[in-house]
Structure 1
Amino acid sequence: MHICCWNCQGIRSPLTLPNLRNIIRDSNPGDFNCITSPLEKIGGNNHSQQRIRAFTQFIDSWGLIDIGFSGFPTTWNNRRDGLANIQERFGRFLVSPTWSLKYPSAAVTYLDDQGSDHRSILMSMTPPPMKSRKQFRFDSRWQHNPKVEQIIENTWQRESRGLNLPRVFSKLKNCRYALSH
C-alpha cells in the first residue's frame, strides 16, 4: 500500500487546494497543517475563519473522512512558556470512504513530542483480507422483525463523525456491521 503524506503550510495560497485535489487518491491519507475548528487551537491569536472554512469546504467537497485520533489533543506546540504557548491540531489523516472501507481498523495515535515541535503520528492498520468477504445483503424477512428495527434505530442514532455524506456512509457501515453480528 502507498501512503502519501504532506506538510501543507501554504494553505493560504490560491494554488494549494487545487494542487492537493490532484494528489488525492482513494488510498492516500493525508497529514495537513490546518485546523478545522477554533477548538483545535490553544493560545495565540484566532485563525482566520475564511482559512478554516476553505479547508473544511475542501474536506467536504471531496467527501473525505477524518479518521480521528487517540492520545494528545494537539500535534504542534511552539514550546514557549505561559501565555506565549500555542498548541494546535495540525496533523490529521483524511481518507476517502473507499479507503475507510478497505482499512476499517485503521487507528491514529499522537505520540509524545520529544525533540520536535510536532508530535509523531502513528497509524496502525490491519491489511485488507486476501479473500473477498461475503457481500452484505439486506434480508427482506427482517422488515417485520422488531429486533432488527431496534438494531438499526440504535445504530443510526449513535454519534458519528464527519460531514454530510461521510457521516451517512459511516452510519450505513455501522448498521451493516451490527446486522452482520
Structure 2
Amino acid sequence: MDTYPETLVKHFTDQGSDHRALLLADKPYVGTSRPLLRFDACWEDNPEVRAMVNYVWQEEVQGTPVFRLWERLKKLRHLLYDWSRAGTTNSLRNIKTLQAEIDRIKSIHPVDWDAIRTLETELSL
C-alpha cells in the first residue's frame, strides 16, 4: 500500500453467493461538483421551462448533429439546474411542508377551509 497510497479496496456484499466481489481502484473517486438533475414531470407544462427549451433550441450551434444535440442538452441541463435551485419550483421539501400544514389545519376545529384551499392552490403550482 505504500507504493500506491491512494489505492482503495471495497468489499461488496455476498447476496445470493458465497463469494464477495472486490473493487480495486488506483485513484480516489472524484464525483461531480453538482448533484444530478432530475427532471420533474410537473415542469413539462411550466411556461418558464418551455421558454428555456425554446431559447436553447433556437441558438445556433456549430458542429455535427450529435455534437449540436449534446451542447444544447448540456446548456439546457445547466439552465434547468440553476432555475430549480433558485426555489422557483415546488420541491419535494416544499410539497411535504405544505401537505403537513394542510393536515395540521384539518386537525383544528373549526376547519379553516379558505386556508386549505389557498395551500392546495400553492401545492398545485
TM-score (norm 1): 0.27
TM-score (norm 2): 0.39
Higher normalized helix content (fraction of residues): 2
Higher normalized strand content (fraction of residues): 1
Structure number with higher relative contact order (C-alpha < 8 Å, ≥ 6 residues apart) = 1
